[in-house]
Amino acid sequence: MELHQVEAVAPGLAARIAGAEPGRARTYAFRVARLACSVAGVHDVHALEVARGGLERYPEIDELVHLWQLERDLDAACESQLGAAPSSRPLEELQLTSECIEARAVAAVIAALSPDARDAARGATYEALTAGCDGRALEALADEVL
């Protein structure tokens, strides 16, 4: 079985997520997505609405398409700034450009929508860490929710 990326960078959080009830994991995923949007300074109305709303109102198809396109556009701007694909750059370098940070925050919102609640929490956590969220803040959220 392949490890999720968050298990490599935050094994303690990954273990807590793995042991969480699905409903709590989902709540945590959306709280993490909101934190990532706040840290990254995301101003996109759709991204913020989805992050705030959680699954109380599942996003419409056009909202999902908008989120995916926004992430692609931000990733392209990030790549332009870095001169290379973001996936090939170290974390510290990604956190130097606002486009890269915002792309990862939007990715956290998208990850929170994953069908499996624990996968959603793991994905949102990894993207939030990549967007520059402090691991201690994510641990504090886990203390409240998980």
Q: Encode pLDDT of 87-105 as tens digits.
A: 778 778 878 889 999 999 9
| pTM, rounded to two decimals | 0.90
- Among candidates 53, 24, 41, which has minimal Cα distance to 120? 24
Q: Encode pLDDT of 25-54 as tens digits.
A: 999 999 999 999 999 999 999 999 999 988
